[in-house]
Amino acid sequence: MAIQQAKVFVEDLQRGMFVSRLDRPWTRTPFALQGFYIRDLEEIRQLQKYCRFVYVDVAKTVGDVGVKLRKLTRAANEQIAAQKQAQVRGAARRIPVAINCKPVQVKHDSYAPPEPARKEAAKAKQLHQQIIQGMHEVMVQVKSDRPLPTAQVSQTVTQMVDSVLRSPDAYSWLARVREKDEHTYSHSVRASVWAVVFGRHIGLRRQELVQLGIATLLKDVGKLYLSDSVLKAEKRDPRDELEYRKFVDYSVKLLSADGNIDPQVVAIVHCHKEQHDGSGYPRGLRGGQIPVLARMCGIVTFYDEATNPRGAEFPLAPSKAVAQLYALRDCAFQEQLVLEFIQSIGLYPTGTQVELSTGELAVVVEQSHKRRLKPKVMLVTDTNKKLLEKPQLFDMAADDDRKQSLVEKGKKSLRDAGFITILHDLDPVRYPQVDVAKVRDQYLFEQRLPAFIARFIPNR
Q: How many domains does the chain have?
A: 3
Given a contact cutoff of 8 angstroms between Cβ atoms, the answer to whether 96 and 276 are in contact is: no
Given a contact cutoff of 8 angstroms between Cβ atoms, the answer to whether 232 and 283 are in contact is: no
Q: Based on the domain organization, do 257 and 323 belong to the same domain? A: yes
CA 126 to chain centre: 24
Q: Based on the domain organization, do 202 and 157 belong to the same domain? A: yes
d(CA 260, CA 214): 12
pLDDT attached to residue 358: 92
d(CA 375, CA 169): 11
pTM exceeds 0.85, yes or no: no
Residue 111 domain-assigned?
Answer: no
What is the edge-to-edge ordering of all strands in the sheet holding 36-37? 5-9, 53-57, 18-22, 36-37
The set of residues, in sequence order, having a beta carbon less than 8 Å from that of 328 and lying 6+ positions away, is 94, 302, 338
Query: Looking at the predicted structure, is the pLDDT value of residue 2 above 60?
Result: no
Domain extent for 217: 117-345
Taking residues 406-420, what's their average pLDDT?
Answer: 84
- CA angle in degrees (0–180, nearest 5) for 48-53-58: 115
Beta pairing partners, 364: 377
Taking residues 247-270, what's their average pLDDT?
Answer: 94
Query: Looking at the predicted structure, is the pLDDT value of residue 453 above 90?
Result: no
Average pLDDT, the chain: 83
- Reported as a single tens digit per residue, the pLDDT across 216-234 is 999 998 988 888 888 888 7
Among 127-141, 329-343, 435-449, top mean pLDDT goes to 329-343
pLDDT attached to residue 187: 83
* DSSP per-residue codes, 42-76: HHHHHHHHH-SEEEEETTT--HHHHHHHHHHHHHH
Residue 251 domain-assigned?
Answer: yes
* Cα→Cα distances 236→177, 206, 233, 240, Å: 29, 39, 6, 5
Query: Looking at the predicted structure, is the pLDDT value of residue 297 above 80?
Result: yes
Given a contact cutoff of 8 angstroms between Cβ atoms, the answer to whether 377 and 418 are in contact is: no
Lowest mean pLDDT among 71-80, 94-103, 336-345, 371-380: 71-80
Q: Based on the domain organization, do 163 and 269 belong to the same domain? A: yes
pLDDT attached to residue 313: 65
Query: Looking at the predicted structure, is the pLDDT value of residue 177 above 70?
Result: no
Lowest mean pLDDT among 144-153, 220-229, 239-248: 144-153
d(CA 20, CA 60): 9
Taking residues 210-214, what's their average pLDDT?
Answer: 96
CATH number, position 245: 1.10.3210.10
Residue 37 three-state SS: strand
Query: Looking at the predicted structure, is the pLDDT value of residue 389 above 80?
Result: yes
Q: Based on the domain organization, do 135 and 267 belong to the same domain? A: yes
Residue 146 domain-assigned?
Answer: yes
Q: Based on the domain organization, do 265 and 401 belong to the same domain? A: no
Q: Based on the domain organization, do 359 and 288 belong to the same domain? A: no
pLDDT attached to residue 353: 92
- Reported as a single tens digit per residue, the pLDDT across 40-58 is 777 788 888 888 888 888 8
Q: Based on the domain organization, do 399 and 446 belong to the same domain? A: yes
Residue 102 domain-assigned?
Answer: no
Q: Based on the domain organization, do 170 and 259 belong to the same domain? A: yes
d(CA 26, CA 22): 7
pLDDT attached to residue 99: 83
Among 345, 375, 393, where does a domain finish? 345
Taking residues 181-190, what's their average pLDDT?
Answer: 62
pLDDT attached to residue 44: 83
- Classify residue 168 as left (phi > 0), alpha (psi -120 to 50) or beta: alpha
d(CA 169, CA 120): 9
Residue 112 domain-assigned?
Answer: no
- Closest by CA to 53, choosing from 99, 93, 22, is 22
Q: Based on the domain organization, do 340 and 369 belong to the same domain? A: no
Q: Based on the domain organization, do 446 and 408 belong to the same domain? A: yes
Q: Based on the domain organization, do 318 and 178 belong to the same domain? A: yes
Residue 97 domain-assigned?
Answer: no
Residue 185 domain-assigned?
Answer: yes
* pLDDT level of residue 151 (50, 70, 90 thresholds): confident
Residue 65 domain-assigned?
Answer: yes
Q: Based on the domain organization, do 361 and 215 belong to the same domain? A: no
Give the residue, 25 or 236, on which the prediction is more confident.
Answer: 236
Among 327, 345, 363, where does a domain finish? 345
